[in-house]
Structure 1
Amino acid sequence: MTERLLQFIWKMQYFNKTELQTTSLEELTIIHPGQFNTNQGPDFLEATIKIDDTIWAGHVELHVNASDWHLHHHAADSNYRNVILHVVWKNDYPDNQEAENNIPVLVLEGRVSRLLLDRYHNLMSAQTHIACSGSIDTIPGIVWESWKDRLISERLLRKADLISTHLKQSKGHWEEIFWWWIARNFGMEVNKEAFETIARTLPIKILAKHKNQIHQLESFLFGQAGLLNERFREDYPLMLQKEYRFFKKKYQFAPSFESIYFLRMRPVNFPTVRLAQLAMLIHTSSHLFDKIKTADDLTRVRNMLAVTANDYWHYHYRFDEVSPFLEKKVGKQMTENIIINTVVPVLFAYGHLKQEHQYTDKALRWLEETAPEKNNITRQWTKLGLPVGSAFDSQAYIELYKNYCTDKRCLQCVIGNYILKRQE
């Protein structure tokens, strides 16, 4: 038995309540188990119980062993003065010594289904990344659909909280926030922090002044990325270098201090290519987030994002290194990735924070209309026979895997709950 499992059992009331008694042989009735407390103090707050003929309202504290009350020094802690019931798995006090605290004690050992305890042990001891993988096929589809809705809500609301913080940093400028997020997205996993830092050093109002000059936009981005510090042979990077030196002094650009990495990635994903595409996106659009907000369908959004880097990059992946001709266009997979990781979260946050639900609804609809990610996490779910038909599905499964499965939070998971409480 663990305290976490004991809390789950008490919260869900998964124990035999027939002829409940305290260790002092008083008749006990649970009217309300209380609200689980995530802060300091008793485990459950504002519970209501009946002992003999008296109704009590207060808090409930849980321990594996009754002696843990003293081990944790609760007797001298004012936070525990309003505890009306001490729920324990095992009463390890001889001769009802616990009565000295004048707090009724309920022992749950022997009142919990052996099947539930065995299933919990199996989940916690499973060596697979997804502990319930052996029971997946027993979960009804309606349980999965409801849980995926909640997982997506958790994921997008968490991102909305982060965007709310960014909103304060940007003085309420939504276009600025969108710029930070989309720049981070173009950096991909390896360079996302660096790309966001670069974006934060280049205010969107300055970029807007130069949006018609693609070379100047590139000089800003490459310069802030620290990629114009070499001795170049070709005219193009030399020109960008000259432009950057002039505008860096004019605008007093702050250095980013973030390293840019090229290792372990395909050339089409090199940060040079992504920065060039990002510059072209600025060049070809204005008030991008506003246009996305008013877009009727995803086709328009995809067309806005599917830009092609300028001609120099058709023959280069890096400065001074000529390569065979290939247009460096933002591909379908990258476009879908931007929709999933930037467009949908920022649009959802906008609707949520402004309480304009047409935007949250649109964000969710677009997630369902976007192709799912294909990565190691989603492949694990598909191997278990679960359909991953859209980004809505893949994002839900990624949320489940990262925030529940990896930490074995089966007690907080709807699927884990279903497995534990199943009767057969």
Structure 2
Amino acid sequence: MHEELLHYLWKHRLYNAGNYFTENGERLEIIHPGFPNTDAGPDFFNAKVRIGDTLWAGNVEMHLRASDWIRHKHHRDKAYDNVILHVVGQYDSAVNTSNGSEIPAWVMPIPDHLYRKYMDLSKSSKPIACGDKLQGLDLLTLNSWIERMAIEKLEKKVEQIRLLYESYDGDWDEVFYILLTRNFGFGINAQPFERLARNTPWRIVLKNRDDIRCLEALFLGQAGMLDEAPDQDDYVRHLKYEYKILRAKYGLSSVPAHQWKFLRLRPSNFPSVRLAQLATLFNGKQISLGRLLSAISITEALDLLDICASDYWTNHHRPGLSSRPRQKQLGKQSAELICINTIIPLTFAYGSLRDDEKLKAKALCWLDSFKPERNSIIDRWKALKIEPISALQSQALLYLYQNYCTPKRCLHCRIGHSIIASHETS
């Protein structure tokens, strides 16, 4: 058994009903369990219990064995001096505060059927432990939790964006530029794309955005892709010349070329092609944070991503190396992924940090308008008859799988709670 089960039962008052007594034989009445503490210190704050004839208000600490109190050195920590009750799974030792006062202990009576359900889920080898129980679940519970997962995922993104926003002194344009550039790496090259953006400040891009060749020289040079490019054509020689000037002018440092991944990628997905497309995107006034935030529909936002790399890339996929002619258009699927992973979270974060509910609602509406993603995780949900009808739902199911199902956080999941706390004992 894990200690988190004690926390769960205490929080939801799911222990066996009956008359309770402390290990010292005093009558115990639990009036309020208090509130979970996610930081250091006792497990629950501001609980209320009556022990004997005395009403106590304070904190509650929980352990599988009472002696864990001593093992964790709480008897030397003044932060635990205001603990009014020690809730344990097994009583094997009396414990004291740092000033020597003995703390009342109570062995929580755990219902057998709840324990069995908990063990069934926590010990399951299935990727989705509750999969065989989903069909009997109330649809309202299921759908409301999926909706909550979509919000929770966006809120997590908000926190990441907030930290980035603060690190760049509240410059939203810089934040937008870094996030958009990162997501042009489409997962496999996300880190070097982000490093490139951090090494190449937005102000430099802004000063050179009217010349597509300058932008390509800047991005490809900063990526280290011009160092080893063969000088077989005039365009590459020009890019090298331009980058030499830019590097000296702005004191730039490039990303090591070995960080870029080309293996098993289609030529149209090569990072060199993506960098050329990124240059086109920033060229002139093709895209900006202001234009995205003011977009009324998702179609308007997608139109801003309707780009094609410059003519040179029609028959090249790496600088200096020719290839069969093909326009390097940013595909519809790629544009939608950028919307889902960059534009929508950024719009939601901007609305959250500025208390703009309309922007947050717009971001959710946009996410709900996309078709659901297709991948192996979504296939697992489909096999259980849980089929997302929008990207909002598929994003929620991905988040649920990665953050609750995989780490077996069933006690923190509303679905898991519904299964464990149900009155069925079979």
TM-score range relative to shorter protein: over 0.9
Structure 1 partner of 2:234: 235
Structure 2 partner of 1:382: 382
Q: Distance in 2 between matches of 1:386 and 1:219?
A: 48
| CA positional deviation for 1:292 | 0.7
Matched-pair contact (CA < 8 Å) for 2:221–2:254: no
Q: What CA deviation, in whole Å up to 9, does each residue of 1:54-91 have, x standing for no partner? A: 21111111111223233333223212211111111122
Matched-pair contact (CA < 8 Å) for 2:286–2:304: no
After the TM superposition, list the runs of 4 or more consecutive aligned residues in structure 1 that deviate by more than 4 angstroms. 97-101
Q: What CA deviation, in whole Å up to 9, does each residue of 1:142-178 have, x standing for no partner? A: 1122212222222112211221121123222212211
Q: Does 1:393 align with 2:393?
A: yes
Q: What CA deviation, in whole Å up to 9, does each residue of 1:359-411 have, x standing for no partner? A: 11111111101222212222221222112111101111111112112211111
Q: Which deviates more, 358-367 or 131-140?
A: 131-140
Q: Tell me the number of residue pairs that the alignment of Structure 1 and Structure 2 aligns.
A: 419
Q: Which deviates more, 398-407 or 291-300?
A: 398-407
Q: Does 1:305 align with 2:305?
A: yes
Q: What CA deviation, in whole Å up to 9, does each residue of 1:31-66 have, x standing for no partner? A: 111111222222111110012222111111111122
Structure 2 partner of 1:21: 21
Q: 1:243 to 1:18 in 2, by over 3 A?
A: same
| CA positional deviation for 1:98 | 6.1
- Which residues of structure 1 form unaligned runs of 5+? none
Q: Does 1:136 align with 2:141?
A: no
Q: Does 1:330 align with 2:330?
A: yes
Structure 2 partner of 1:177: 175
| CA positional deviation for 1:282 | 0.7
Q: Distance in 2 between matches of 1:204 and 1:345?
A: 20
Relative to the length of structure 2, the TM-score reads 0.94
Q: Distance in 2 between matches of 1:322 and 1:287?
A: 29
* 1:5-16 alignment, distance < 5 Å: 5-16=5-16
Structure 2 partner of 1:191: 189
Structure 2 partner of 1:203: 201
Amino acid at match of 1:302: L
Relative to the length of structure 1, the TM-score reads 0.94
Q: Give me the CA root mean square deviation.
A: 1.8
Q: Distance in 1 between matches of 2:206 and 2:80?
A: 59
| CA positional deviation for 1:296 | 0.7
| CA positional deviation for 1:197 | 1.4
Structure 2 partner of 1:270: 270
Q: What CA deviation, in whole Å up to 9, does each residue of 1:231-285 have, x standing for no partner? A: 3212222221111112211222233347211112222211011111111101153
Give secondary structure in 1 for the equivalent of 2:218: helix
Q: Does 1:246 align with 2:213?
A: no
- Which residues of structure 2 form unaligned runs of 5+? none
Q: Distance in 2 between matches of 1:421 and 1:330?
A: 49
Amino acid at match of 2:130: C
Q: What CA deviation, in whole Å up to 9, does each residue of 1:343-362 have, x standing for no partner? A: 01111111111111111111
Q: Distance in 2 between matches of 1:24 and 1:250?
A: 78
Q: Distance in 2 between matches of 1:161 and 1:98?
A: 40
Give secondary structure in 2 for the equivalent of 1:75: helix
Give secondary structure in 2 for the equivalent of 1:373: coil
* 1:25-424 alignment, distance < 5 Å: 25-93=25-93, 102-108=102-108, 111-230=109-228, 231-257=230-256, 259-286=259-286, 288-424=288-424
Q: Distance in 1 between matches of 2:319 and 2:73?
A: 66
Matched-pair contact (CA < 8 Å) for 2:69–2:95: no
Give secondary structure in 2 for the equivalent of 1:50: strand
Q: 1:345 to 1:20 in 2, by over 3 A?
A: same
Give secondary structure in 2 for the equivalent of 1:175: helix
Q: Distance in 2 between matches of 1:320 and 1:254?
A: 22
Matched-pair contact (CA < 8 Å) for 1:85–1:104: yes
| CA positional deviation for 1:342 | 0.4
